[in-house]
Copies of this chain bind each other. A is one copy, B any other.
């Protein structure tokens, strides 16, 4: 069992804030500042260039990858950190396309994160081989899996609605049709147990700045199933993916394992922050996390629906059909969210009308949910959103 009162005490929370946006950027673990300071002062400052070996910087991307691997059900040695999620999506998709050279259709849904779709468009254009990116409604995905399909590329949890795809079922169906799967775990890694092995997933990617609490700009990760790694030709063939980076050969030879998905120099300071947040995650039972997350989201939905008839639930009502976020639609959702934020309940807004709230049992408890519902009800009951100051659309994050 995981003691969530204990994990809550491991996070810094700004005074009075109820932070329901850990699905966008996780809050700061208290131990992170010291860990990052150590990387700056003791590692970089004292070891300088020798830090690559003596402080373990060179091995960080795979060492940290294994710790994330436990959370997502990956085999040890098959997850590596680096770059951004967009880059990792590009790598995964490029490798997947290579594995099915005679097919041209890449299937995704309109609930995929736009950057995944943009990266796919860019890759298809670069390849110039007539691939088609077919974008269907989330509920239509299964119906579009057929023998033309090259790659099924999905984000497991819809960033707007929180709707959860059936990874196991869709993977099996896609594979039965001869296709390869690429799963983006941006809103699942750290949000619930993921079982990549059990689902027989081919490729997966994810980020660490959301539920994994590694901070703004934290590195992404990529998983390649053991059966594919030897046939996986890196499109982004950087020197740290080379079999012998420091031989400085002029010919690229991919590394033997997941290392081949590395590209350039790893972001050591960001990796230190991830190291600190994984010290918390190492202690977390993912089934207990999921149970706690479902309890929080059920409580939130019940509270909001009882008190805010103006808001319409757009997340799946079945808790097993959604991730760890809850979204409500409201025509003036942007202003309403600004009014909540002004009252220290932090969620976010996604166009055109979605108020989005994330629930992370590591630092959010039932008391927080009650307090958040009180604020949202106050905003709605008293039309606090109907104030010009909240309607000015600033740069939205």
Contact = CB atoms under 8 A, between A and B. Distances in A.
Given A84-B265, A273-B269, A237 B119 contact: yes
A209 B114 contact: no
A397 interface: yes
Nearest to A46: B14
Given A25-B48, A249-B114, A395-B53, A263 B86 contact: yes
Contacts of A395: 52-53, 58, 246
Given A215-B268, A217-B267, A270-B217, A238 B126 contact: no
Task: Give the size range of A's interface with the partner.
Answer: 35 or more
B250 A217 contact: no
A83 B220 CA distance: 11
A19 B351 CA distance: 52
A40 B30 CA distance: 10
B216 A118 contact: no
B215 A86 contact: no
A100 to B, nearest CB: 16
A389 interface: no
Interface centre among A19, A87, A114, A395 (most CB of B within 10 A): A114
A268 B122 CA distance: 25
Nearest to A14: B46
A268 B217 contact: yes
Contacts of A115: 238-240, 264
A157 interface: no
A77 to B, nearest CB: 18
Given A27-B45, A53-B395, A267-B267, 6 more contacts: A37-B37, A48-B346, A83-B264, A114-B249, A121-B251, A248-B350
17 contacts: A14-B45, A14-B46, A25-B44, A27-B48, A33-B40, A40-B215, A49-B348, A50-B341, A58-B395, A86-B238, A87-B238, A110-B250, A114-B239, A125-B235, A126-B235, A128-B129, A269-B269
